[in-house]
Amino acid sequence: MIRSALLLALAVSASATAAPAPDLTTVSERSQFQQTGRYDEVIALCSAFQRAYPKAVKCIDFGRTPEGRPMKALIVTRTGAMSAQAAQQRKLPVVLIQGGIHAGEIDGKDAGFLALREILENKAAPGALERQVLLFVPVFNVDGHERFGKWNRPNQRGPVEMGWRTTAQNFNLNRDYAKADSPEMQAMLALVNAWDPLAYVDLHVTDGAKFEHDVSIQVEPVHSADTAFREAGLALRTNVIDELTRQGSLPHAFYMSFAETDNPASGFIDNVSDPRFSTGYFPLRNRMAMLVETHSWKDYPTRVRITRNAVVSVLSQVAQHGSAWLAAARAADARAQALPGTDVVLSYKASDKVRMIDFRGYAYTRTMSEVSGQLMTRYDETKPQIWTVPLRDEMVPSLVVHAPRGGYLVPPAHASMVAAALKQHNISYRVLDTALAPAEVETFRADKATAAAGSVESHQRMTLSGAWKKETRSMPQGALYVPLAQPRARLVMALLEPQAPDSLLAWGRFNNAFERKEYMEDYVAEDVARQMMAAKPALAAEFKAKLAADPAFAASGEARLEFFARLHDSWDERFNLYPVVRTDRAP
């Protein structure tokens, strides 16, 4: 009797002192989706989910922001594979779902935590966590998230306050995948390199006009990258759109921004993003990327619900098809190694082919504004209206480059900068321990180099006209050799082909090569020109013919003197020469 009483007392005492179950709801839920929490809530919830589900959730820091905040991610799975190595050994598909890359567009954070709790409770996507690993990054742009304010997104309905679009260093992270300037992106790429996610889901809120459609789901590869792998991308996009439609949403597979700003009648033009964007970057790694864009004029409860549905749908699809899609991605890796010596598409555009679509908008008027003095559109949300508008969604190549059979050589003067970029993207290269004797390579000399008038993301961008040409050159010891026969061959070309839209050159990393540093004074050039023509009558005849045929040349004293300076031994042969060369043979 005494023993029973003692056991009962101990049980009561244990019950009284046991830690309460962690609260896994968000500020957003508790406010009926009118508010969103600050970043300390993310830190607390990351820890709380791990305490509540210690066998299924692991909370990690994967980086630190410029303002010193931890970048949190949750590893979620019921497979036991809580490390990247374990996931790879077991050939498990990994899905990385990221919210708050633009921290004012914060639907993904609140929707992701809601979806995560329901999946762990088996109320949504039952069994999905037994077949994959989820990496959930609630907020990518953490410092921007903490720049909190009511008017950070003036064309968005809710929440009451939200974060800021860019980082503390004013980087737009969704322009940073290829160039990877920001500490945040460098941390994200390290996470990606470790886990190699099959699918990367980027959760946003679009700007734009008022209409009934509530979400766009864009996936690549569908139009771009490895042709065979597009089948998997299209299946993911189709299945998620179909599921959202059954749930009452009105999704489209293109970005719903008018071809002409503020003009609904102009319709829409689809696109394939360049690799500065998530959906342009990951297909170059032979992986899938999805852009979820809820509509900013829908209220916050609606947007969170739709984003939650998209997250659940993606995890359900990967649970069903992930093994097959992962095999397809590995096959794309193998095919990429055969790209040397072939034509490779590095950018795309919409063709001129137009089809008319019925689009669910609202009645509107377009009148001149006495405020702005320009034509303005005003919508009547009480009057739904079907717009029949043009859509251009056929994608065609806009830049095709014939790939070298070997790879790229980077001279020692530029090796450290290029090597750092290659490491960030997990691209293979090697350092040459001996110099290369003169041999035939391909060089790119710019016919014209044009620097952008202003700064873009802290860079002065550069564009070149010109072509690769055969030339004999040597290469010093310490140069880099970047072979093209590797799984990320498309990404290699995206970074090192000088005319690619997000190449290292395009982002201004080689601008010095296109700045003339040494000059021949005019009075010297005058004497040199006379001496050259006296020594070479054929040159004098060529100069005379050019004067007669080219009025602009004849009218420019600078151009006339440069004609001779370029032929003189003092001319800098490296001026307008892209330092990276291509080779058909591995050194």
Reported residue count of the chain is: 587
Nearest C-alpha neighbor of 353 from the set 257, 269, 263, 273: 269
Alpha-carbon distance of 234 to 479, in angstroms, equals 41
User: If pLDDT is split at 50, 70 and 90, which confidence band does 10 have?
Assistant: very low
Q: What share of the chain is helix, strand, coil (3-state, %, to 5)?
A: 35, 25, 40
The reported pLDDT for the residue numbered 520 is 82
Q: What is the tally of helices (H) and strands (E) in the chain? A: 16, 19
The reported pLDDT for the residue numbered 35 is 98
366 and 306 both lie in a single domain:
no
The reported pLDDT for the residue numbered 1 is 44
Q: What is the DSSP letter of 162?
A: B
Q: What is the mean pLDDT of residues 300-320?
A: 98
User: If pLDDT is split at 50, 70 and 90, which confidence band does 6 have?
Assistant: very low
Give the other-Cβ count within 10 Å of 266's Cβ.
13
420 and 325 both lie in a single domain:
no
Q: What is the mean pLDDT of residues 203-231?
A: 96
The whole domain housing 379 covers 361-397
Is the peptide bond prior to 221 cis by the omega test (within 30 degrees of 0)? yes
State which amino acid sits at residue 209.
A
User: If pLDDT is split at 50, 70 and 90, which confidence band does 2 have?
Assistant: very low
Q: What is the DSSP letter of 248?
A: T
Alpha-carbon distance of 188 to 404, in angstroms, equals 30
In sequence order, what DSSP letters do the residues of 179-209 get, joined into one string?
T--SHHHHHHHHHHHHH--SEEEEEEEE---
Q: What is the mean pLDDT of residues 53-75?
A: 98
Task: Output the CA torsion 216→222→225→226 (10° steps).
Answer: 150
Task: Measure Cα distances from 378 to 185, 269, 357 in Å.
Answer: 39, 22, 22
Tell whether 67 is covered by a domain.
Answer: yes
Q: Does residue 481 surpass a pLDDT of 90?
A: yes
Residues sharing a CB contact under 8 Å with residue 234, sequence separation 6 or more, in sequence order: 219, 222
239 and 370 both lie in a single domain:
no
The reported pLDDT for the residue numbered 18 is 53
Tell whether 13 is covered by a domain.
Answer: no
The reported pLDDT for the residue numbered 433 is 97
Half-sphere exposure of 399 (CA within 13 A, CB side): 17
The reported pLDDT for the residue numbered 568 is 86
558: tokens are: 């600078």
The reported pLDDT for the residue numbered 19 is 61
Give the other-Cβ count within 10 Å of 27's Cβ.
16
Q: What is the mean pLDDT of residues 382-400?
A: 98
87 and 215 both lie in a single domain:
yes
235 and 298 both lie in a single domain:
yes
CATH number of the domain within which 120 lies: 3.40.630.10
The reported pLDDT for the residue numbered 566 is 85
468 and 547 both lie in a single domain:
no
3 state DSSP class of 124: coil
Nearest C-alpha neighbor of 92 from the set 115, 113, 75: 75
284 and 404 both lie in a single domain:
no
Alpha-carbon distance of 141 to 119, in angstroms, equals 25
Q: What is the mean pLDDT of residues 204-221?
A: 95
Mode of pairing for the β-strands spanning 407-410 and 581-583? antiparallel
Residues sharing a CB contact under 8 Å with residue 503, sequence separation 6 or more, in sequence order: 494, 495, 496, 497
Q: Does residue 20 surpass a pLDDT of 90?
A: no
Q: How many domains does the chain have?
A: 4
Is the peptide bond prior to 159 cis by the omega test (within 30 degrees of 0)? yes
pLDDT tens by residue, 497-551: 999 999 999 999 999 999 988 888 889 888 888 999 999 999 889 999 999 999 9
Alpha-carbon distance of 10 to 13, in angstroms, equals 5
529 and 511 both lie in a single domain:
no
pLDDT tens by residue, 185-206: 999 999 999 999 999 999 999 9
The reported pLDDT for the residue numbered 208 is 80
378 and 410 both lie in a single domain:
no
Q: What is the mean pLDDT of residues 413-442?
A: 98
State which of 381, 397, 413 marks the end of a domain: 397
State which amino acid sits at residue 76.
V
- Lookup result for tokens 């679509």: 357
Nearest C-alpha neighbor of 397 from the set 227, 165, 581: 227
Tell whether 352 is covered by a domain.
Answer: no
Tell whether 299 is covered by a domain.
Answer: yes
The reported pLDDT for the residue numbered 468 is 98
210 and 261 both lie in a single domain:
yes
CA 543 to chain centre: 49
Tell whether 56 is covered by a domain.
Answer: yes
Q: What is the mean pLDDT of residues 232-255?
A: 98
Residues sharing a CB contact under 8 Å with residue 548, sequence separation 6 or more, in sequence order: 554
The reported pLDDT for the residue numbered 11 is 44
pLDDT tens by residue, 334-377: 999 999 999 999 999 999 999 999 999 999 999 999 999 999 99
The reported pLDDT for the residue numbered 15 is 44
Ramachandran angles phi, psi of 185, nearest 5°: -70, -35
Query: pLDDT: is 558 or 511 the higher one?
Result: 511
Q: What is the mean pLDDT of residues 439-458?
A: 96
Tell whether 344 is covered by a domain.
Answer: no
State which of 337, 369, 389 marks the end of a domain: 337
Ramachandran angles phi, psi of 321, nearest 5°: -120, 0
Tell whether 54 is covered by a domain.
Answer: yes
Q: Does residue 14 surpass a pLDDT of 80?
A: no
Q: What is the DSSP letter of 249?
A: -
268 and 370 both lie in a single domain:
no
What is the rounded average pLDDT for all residues in the chain?
Answer: 95
Nearest C-alpha neighbor of 111 from the set 84, 138, 133: 138
315 and 405 both lie in a single domain:
no
Q: Does residue 565 surpass a pLDDT of 90?
A: no
Tell whether 349 is covered by a domain.
Answer: no
For CA atoms 577, 580, 584, 587, the dihedral sign is positive
Mode of pairing for the β-strands spanning 375-392 and 355-368? antiparallel
Q: Are the C-beta atoms of 153 and 162 separated by less than 8 Å?
A: yes
Question: Which of 27-31, 132-136, 561-565 is least confident?
Answer: 561-565
